[in-house]
Chain A
Amino acid sequence: MEALRRLQGENRQGSRCRIGCGAGFSSDRLGPAVDLVAEGGLDWLVLECIGERTMAFGHRDRRRDPGAGYNPLLEPRMRTLLPLCRRHGTRLLSNMGVANPRRAAERTVEIARELGLQGLTVAWLEGDDVTGLVGPETPLAEGGTVGERENRLLAANAYLGIEHLLPALTTGADVVLTGRVADPSLFLAPLVLRFGWESHDWERLAGGTLVGHLLECGMQVTGGYFADPGRKEVPDLARCGYPIAEVAADGSAVVTKLERAGGLVSTETVKEQLLYEVQDPAAYITPDVIADFSKVVIEPDGPDRVGVRGAAGRPRPERLKVTLAFDGGYLGEAGVSYAGINALARAELAREILRERLTRIHGLHCPLRFDLIGVDSLHGTAGVAPVRTEDVRLRVACRSPRREEVELVLWETEAMLTCGPAGGGGFRGRIAESVSTASCFVPRDAVHCRVEVLEA
């Protein structure tokens, strides 16, 4: 009975489930997550650490080294958070397993042993890797088939949902590690476990999904990605806190942060996050539910506290979405800067010289882009009128499956230092491996998951 109560989070005061988000992307900050566990009275800490790129890179890393492929920051995160989570009775759920949840769990157990956390349990979930279900004939959501793509398929990962997560959570393990899971499901699963919501209770599942959607990007709901000086002020953004949701059994919630943390939780920050990456407010599709956010009520509930309720839900989709990652070759970026009198004209001359050399003299055919940073770079394609400035950076970007082409672009840009217009400086260049992505769908019942629990 004691164990069951602990499992359901009944050890906490009050009837609400307290969930914190301690990472909203693979490289998110660690310090504020520490504060959240130490002072947040959390039932659960969720770390959301997978993006399309990081998923593909996980597969690449694992192919090179069978012991790799999980989140590169797992080690410092676990070392810091495990003792705190144990002290405060907070369970940790994360997709830091990326392309290798088993190895992530093994490494976590090793760290727990080193820290003297005997008896700490780690569950890992696998089954999101559906490469075996994808073939050349598989149709892509974007049109065409997998086989028609020129590039090599690196990875195929299904977005798992609460039906796959719950068996891992009900093991009672202190830490649960997964690969690809729909981001909101990471938050919904602990709520379903705590409140016993039925798998067809679409309204409550939508309420929990709303909570997950608001929290999954970390500080984007507590003042990050929001400040615009003179227009939208956020206090102490350098010490911004991660979000906490206090969720009630009916699926309504209050979004807040630690009082002493920097940042801001207001109806405005919550609204901006409500439709972040949402293409139809009435149909936010996850593996668990089709949530309707179009009638959501957002209201203040005290300083840095905002209440949310009123999400509606419809039955979950029959098929699971899969992200396919293909080898995208190399992305090369290089730049050189000009400042002072006539800087813009000198940067423009450098651009013309480089264009001439790369396309006419060397005959490059790969996609090339030239930007004048400070004049018309990010919004250059949008046709916004350029500004006059005396501090301009010429940026050259290219993509190619052939590394030597990309190296040539960097070499020619660096040569601008001595062979180009007067006063050019500050050359930097980098080459990054790149992936391209597409989507397909697989039948829900074709995906088979497995859970295992390890003990320190």
Chain B
Amino acid sequence: MSRRMRLWDIAHARAGDKGDTSNVSVWVEDATHYAAVLRQITPERIRAEFPRLVQGPVEIHPVPHLLGLDIVMHRALEGGVNSSLNLDGHGKSWSYLILRLEVEIDEPSKTRCR
């Protein structure tokens, strides 16, 4: 049995910027979900989800012992904070773009509500 869940339900995230590169670190809360997240949140998927926004390559660095992944998106800030016309030129809210993505979780969920 599997369930579709938003990353927001099972992980937390923070966005940072350097020039025109945005990185969103995602932290999965339950170790049993980590492999599924890593399998489904791929560079190809990120580029496919946001084709207009993410213009450059995407790298994902897993940090397995902390259940983390660092999603690095190049040319994803409309030029960067000093040239973007976006109200959020730093892409501070990009973490919530990522957290809206859905993943299939294989087992009956044991997600804790806090």
Contact = CB atoms under 8 A, between A and B. Distances in A.
B82 A278 contact: no
B97 to A, nearest CB: 5
A6 interface: no
Interface string A292-312: 001111100000000000000
Interface string A365-398: 0011101010001110111100000000001011
Given A277-B18, A373-B87, A272 B23 contact: no
A271 B68 contact: yes
Given A277-B18, A279-B72, A384-B100, A437 B25 contact: no
A454 B53 CA distance: 51
A275 B65 contact: no
Nearest to A328: B82
A273 B14 contact: yes
B102 interface: no
Nearest to A367: B85
A52 B82 CA distance: 9
Contacts of B12: 228, 231-232, 268, 272
Contacts of A411: none
B63 interface: yes
A229 B21 CA distance: 28
A53 B82 contact: yes
A379 B93 contact: yes
A397 B87 contact: yes
Interface residues of A, number: 51
B66 A298 contact: yes
B52 A436 contact: no
Contacts of B93: 378-379
B39 interface: no
A72 B13 CA distance: 33
Interface in B1-40: 8, 12-14, 16-19, 21, 23, 25, 27
A142 interface: yes
Nearest to B94: A382
A272 B14 contact: yes
Contact of A275 (B18, B25, B50, B78): B25
B45 interface: no
Interface string B77-88: 010111101111
Nearest to B74: A279
A281 B61 contact: yes
A281 B70 contact: yes
A378 B87 contact: yes
A370 to B, nearest CB: 9
A270 to B, nearest CB: 10
A277 B53 CA distance: 18
Contact of B52 (A231, A294, A377, A382): A382
A438 to B, nearest CB: 8
Nearest to A323: B19
A426 B29 CA distance: 43
Contact of A277 (B17, B80, B87, B96): B17
B65 A295 contact: yes
Which 10 pairs across A and B sit closest by C-beta, in order of nearness? A277-B16, A369-B85, A275-B25, A272-B14, A397-B85, A382-B53, A378-B88, A276-B16, A436-B82, A382-B50
B85 A272 contact: no
A267 B85 CA distance: 35
Contacts of A280: 61, 70, 72
A334 to B, nearest CB: 12
Contacts of B97: 379, 382, 384
Contact of B85 (A274, A379, A399): A399
Nearest to A369: B85
A419 to B, nearest CB: 24
B23 A275 contact: yes
A282 interface: yes
A268 B78 contact: no
B85 A271 contact: no
A436 B27 contact: no
Interface in A21-68: 52-53
Given A268-B27, A381-B53, A383-B53, A275 B14 contact: yes
Given A232-B12, A271-B66, A377-B87, A435 B82 contact: yes
A333 B86 CA distance: 10
Interface in A307-354: 328, 331, 333
